[in-house]
Structure 1
Amino acid sequence: MFDQLRRTVSGPVLGPGDDDFAAEVAAWNTATLHTPDIAVGLTSEEDAAGLVRVAAAAGTPVRVLATGHGSATPVTGGVLATTSRLSGVTIDAERRIAHINAGCRWADVIAAAAEHGLAPVAGASANVGCIGYTLGGGLGPLARTYGFSSDWARGFRIATASGDVVTASATENPDLFWALRGGKGGFGIVTSMDFELIELSTLYGGSVFFDAPQIAGALATWVDWTKTLPETATTSVVILRLPPMEFIPEPLRGKTVLSVRFAYVGDPAEGERLFQPIRDAGPTIIDAVAEMPAAQIAKIHNDPTDPGPGWDRGMMLTELDADFVSAFLGAAGPEQQVPFVAIEIRHLGGATHRDVPEGSAVGGRGGAYTLFMAGVPDPSLFTRVLPPAADALLAPLRPWISAETTINYAGGLTVPGSYEASWPSETFARLAEVRATYDPDTLFPYGPA
């Protein structure tokens, strides 16, 4: 198989003994070490199709790695196809369509679109790969206004288990298109995506930071405030336990703080008026909410850009109230000793609750909020310390935890039931049917082991 792949594929074909193997399979989440039997660096659609044909003939499973932000579970055998060489974004400004190759990150698309006064409905981090994020739905800083990111996908090119590269869109292979907008993995190797852009050059947004004594009041204000916001406003809140290190801004260094993030699409004066209740909630350490270029939207969340070890757990919440605030602060507030660097709540609703006209496989449209926990980035804690700490933190929050979630918040699918809960039961069943149609021999395994 090794020799056959090298004769078939233009990109590198590497084994564990090759010098470049470790770098080829490295994930952005450095806690996950992939050890496939073979790594194949794709350089074209033809490479993807050739790889699939060879792997199918050998009965060898294929998995795909882009940036590795979502790599929570190691790949321990088979073939790992890497897409980083499939780079490049082209913008059709008249049609407002970005053609995004599989190796692109949102930063590439944001920069290219901004030249035309356009923007993608992207994720909070510009460093995340576009394809894997979109296949899982995707909830970004404009979600209440524009919905899940996958709602803006207009077509995919994908190498399926037959060895053919096909188009999946509303008019070609619509069942596969439905599945790729939110169904995540197990359908083939996506080589590119057409993504509709929005007209947006500026917005009113950013983040403010409250010191520990103000957290309780600011959080209570935030929960009440979210119930008054129009769909043109999207917000999230996060408790950060920041280390006393130089890369942290000096006013925040070594502190436990609450950050409120905000993005408003419309008149900046109206955005300022809408945000005023948060400013009135108490003195802030930093106030960085103002009119900003849409091309700088990643500054709202300021997610890490360098690779590192990561552990997280996510879920959705129902409507919040004062009792939730008390329970949450009792479990995760500044006086609690918990091994989490970030505990975040995002406000949903608005466009996230409405499916696209032709339907999609996105799970979690009924969620009112999301909850996300990022553990201390010490891999020695990932197995024995962080899971029980998360269970303990979540126990008093059970009345508000939704039975449904969305797949991008399911982490490594290690929590029993998290895979099934990522979609409504009828969607879960239909996804299984689509996978069976396009991959009857499970060449592209997906789901918990």
Structure 2
Amino acid sequence: MTAELIDRLRAEITAGPVLGPGDDGFADEVAAQNTAVRHAPDVAVGISSEQDAAAVVRIAASAGVPVRVLATGHGSAVPVADGILVTTRRLGGVSIDVSRRIAQIGAGCRWAEVIAAAAGHGLAPVAGASDNVGCIGYTTGGGLGPLARTFGFSSDWARSFRLVTADGEVRTASAEENPDLFWALRGGKSGFGIVTSMDFELVPLSTLYAGTLFFDADQIARAFGAWVDWTKTLPETATSSAIILRLPPLEVIPEPLRGKTVLGVRFAYVGEGAGRASAGGGETAAGTAGRDLAREGERLLQPMRDVATVLIDSVQDMPASRIADIHNDPRDPGPGWDRGQLLTDLDADFVNTFLGVAGPDQQVPFVAIEIRHLGGAVARDVPEGSAVGGRGAAYTLILIGVPDPALFDTVLPPAAEALLAPLQPWISPEHNVNYAGGLTVPGSYEACWPAEIFQRLAEIRSTYDPTGVFPYGPPER
């Protein structure tokens, strides 16, 4: 069956490889950013056009073979073990319509390409913390970046998608055309088709006051408690997160942080003139400029600078094109394990409980434990509605495991459960699919959306993919 399938695909795919497991280049074609996940589909197809995507889907549907999609592989948590794996990295390219502030983004693009293309026009995408992440998978899950309180979920800024649905047809999904699919793709994640491109509205933003304050281990308790209180005073134009890092003694790490457990307080301020677009993509002010931006940013951040001794202070004026410097996430492929939750409002009891299970005196197998402040624009849905889950949460929590695959199945899951158990009073009943990790915890997938949204997503999938060409959800589904 596989040999026949490969022959049919090679006869119709106009460009890009069609590879079986024994072919040269197969392993590279299916490699993910998370190297702990090794995909082993029956066939890998590298598409370079919508026509190729449509051909793959038609052939798969007629053969009763499932189709899954791989772009950068940042979201890969569970190996693909059968069917066709479509890789979209060859669907690149970014074009900017300056007058409309719209970026047309190919499915294979990473945020770095969009940021660079927009920066020359004084524009910026509402992107993620890492500019190395693929745009499409991130956006269809919602996307909470370092400007989330000001501009909301990244998916709120998607204006249309092009995709191939299970019948092999190329469709546009927007507020005017196939609006049910558009609603679903802004937060519903997967199971609707192969997205080939996205139109994404940009914001006029050229400068930030942003960076990170680092505190040594003996200052963490004081600084973290102050951070929780401080977040309740911030305007929507400021977004912050706090992260406990357990850093190895490697030379690539700055000497003041090397081999230490530290707290990083990340901060991004865009200016008092910035805000959400209006219905239909209205005007957004560019924000406070120049010295006014820095002066107001300094005023807002000063309580955190004063609360404890700062080990490193990198907060400064920076071009919006350097937004990825705030989180400074790794860019090279490597093994990864994470587990996320959303949180309700935090208080002094949370601070004490959290430090008791995750603070610097605890021995836990997590290199990073991060909490991001939400609210503001995150809490407001777009006028036409969207499927994204988690708008009512106040904070996020994510655990990043020690990057040793030997720990991923046996050590990290029970360690995560032990850490999260005392935090249950603050864990939100809402969840978000981009924070759900491998979806191996029973019920975690269903919890990514309110029940009525989950049901509507299932109905839309059934309408556009009645035979289940595009699998979705946890591994057992």
TM-score bracket, shorter-length normalisation? over 0.9
**Residue equivalent to 1:93:** 98
User: 1:359, 1:315 → 2: CA distance?
Assistant: 23
User: 1:288, 1:136 → 2: CA distance?
Assistant: 30
Q: Does 2:209 match 1:204?
A: yes
Give, in angstroms, the shift of residue 73 of structure 1.
Answer: 0.5
Instruction: Choose which of 231, 234, 237 in structure 1 pairs with 2:239.
Output: 234
Aligned partner of 2:85: which letter? L
Task: Specify the SS of the correspondent of 1:64.
Answer: strand
Instruction: Choose which of 4, 8, 12 in structure 2 pairs with 1:8.
Output: 12
User: 2:298, 2:446 → 1: CA distance?
Assistant: 41
Instruction: Choose which of 107, 114, 118 in structure 2 pairs with 1:109.
Output: 114
User: 2:438, 2:355 → 1: CA distance?
Assistant: 27
User: 1:329, 1:225 → 2: CA distance?
Assistant: 17
Q: Does 2:354 match 1:328?
A: yes
**Residue equivalent to 2:300:** 274
Task: Specify the SS of the correspondent of 1:155.
Answer: strand
Q: Does 2:436 match 1:410?
A: yes
Give, in angstroms, the shift of residue 308 of structure 1.
Answer: 0.3
Task: Specify the SS of the correspondent of 1:108.
Answer: helix
**Residue equivalent to 1:73:** 78
Task: Specify the SS of the correspondent of 1:262.
Answer: strand
User: 1:433, 1:268 → 2: CA distance?
Assistant: 49
User: 2:334, 2:213 → 1: CA distance?
Assistant: 26
Give, in angstroms, the shift of residue 424 of structure 1.
Answer: 0.4
CA deviation vs aligned residue, 1:256-288 (integer Å, no higher than 9, x gap): 000000000112211110000110111111100
User: 1:249, 1:41 → 2: CA distance?
Assistant: 39
Give, in angstroms, the shift of residue 83 of structure 1.
Answer: 0.4
Task: Specify the SS of the correspondent of 1:217.
Answer: helix
**Residue equivalent to 2:274:** none
Q: Does 2:171 match 1:145?
A: no
Task: Specify the SS of the correspondent of 1:388.
Answer: helix
Instruction: Choose which of 353, 362, 366 in structure 2 pairs with 1:340.
Output: 366
**Residue equivalent to 2:388:** 362
Give, in angstroms, the shift of residue 116 of structure 1.
Answer: 0.3
Task: Specify the SS of the correspondent of 1:250.
Answer: coil
Aligned partner of 2:32: which letter? A
Unmatched segments (≥5 aa) in structure 1: none
User: 2:38, 2:317 → 1: CA distance?
Assistant: 41
User: 1:403, 1:274 → 2: CA distance?
Assistant: 31
More moved, 260-269 vs 117-126: 260-269
Alignment of 1:248-263 (within 5 A): 248-263=253-268
Q: Does 2:379 match 1:353?
A: yes
Aligned partner of 1:112: which letter? A
CA deviation vs aligned residue, 1:79-100 (integer Å, no higher than 9, x gap): 0000011111000011000000
**Residue equivalent to 1:419:** 445
Give, in angstroms, the shift of residue 18 of structure 1.
Answer: 0.5
User: 1:108, 1:219 → 2: CA distance?
Assistant: 35
User: 2:12, 2:469 → 1: CA distance?
Assistant: 18
User: 2:240, 2:460 → 1: CA distance?
Assistant: 35
**Residue equivalent to 2:33:** 28
Task: Specify the SS of the correspondent of 1:252.
Answer: coil
**Residue equivalent to 2:419:** 393
Aligned partner of 1:370: which letter? T
CA deviation vs aligned residue, 1:202-247 (integer Å, no higher than 9, x gap): 0111101000000000000000000000000000000000000111
CA deviation vs aligned residue, 1:285-305 (integer Å, no higher than 9, x gap): 110001110000000000110
Instruction: Choose which of 48, 56, 75 in structure 2 pairs with 1:51.
Output: 56
**Residue equivalent to 2:345:** 319
Root-mean-square deviation over aligned CA pairs: 0.5
**Residue equivalent to 1:305:** 331
User: 1:167, 1:418 → 2: CA distance?
Assistant: 30
**Residue equivalent to 2:455:** 429
**Residue equivalent to 2:133:** 128
User: 2:88, 2:6 → 1: CA distance?
Assistant: 19
Unmatched segments (≥5 aa) in structure 2: 272-292
Task: Specify the SS of the correspondent of 2:390.
Answer: coil
CA deviation vs aligned residue, 1:311-362 (integer Å, no higher than 9, x gap): 0000100000011000000000000000000000000000000000000000
Task: Specify the SS of the correspondent of 1:183.
Answer: coil
Give, in angstroms, the shift of residue 251 of structure 1.
Answer: 1.0
Instruction: Choose which of 449, 470, 474 in structure 2 pairs with 1:444.
Output: 470
Instruction: Choose which of 322, 327, 332 in structure 2 pairs with 1:296.
Output: 322
**Residue equivalent to 1:371:** 397
Q: Which aligned runs of 4 or more in structure 1 are off by greater than 3 angstroms? A: none
Task: Specify the SS of the correspondent of 1:447.
Answer: coil
**Residue equivalent to 2:282:** none
Instruction: Choose which of 232, 246, 252 in structure 2 pairs with 1:247.
Output: 252
Task: Specify the SS of the correspondent of 1:179.
Answer: helix
Give, in angstroms, the shift of residue 372 of structure 1.
Answer: 0.2
Instruction: Choose which of 269, 278, 287 in structure 2 pairs with 1:264.
Output: 269
**TM-score of the superposed pair, with normalisation by structure 1:** 1.00
User: 1:230, 1:134 → 2: CA distance?
Assistant: 25
Aligned partner of 2:128: which letter? G
Task: Specify the SS of the correspondent of 1:367.
Answer: coil
CA deviation vs aligned residue, 1:24-74 (integer Å, no higher than 9, x gap): 000000000000000000111111001001111101000000000000000
Give, in angstroms, the shift of residue 412 of structure 1.
Answer: 1.1
**Residue equivalent to 2:406:** 380
User: 1:60, 1:197 → 2: CA distance?
Assistant: 38
**Residue equivalent to 1:82:** 87
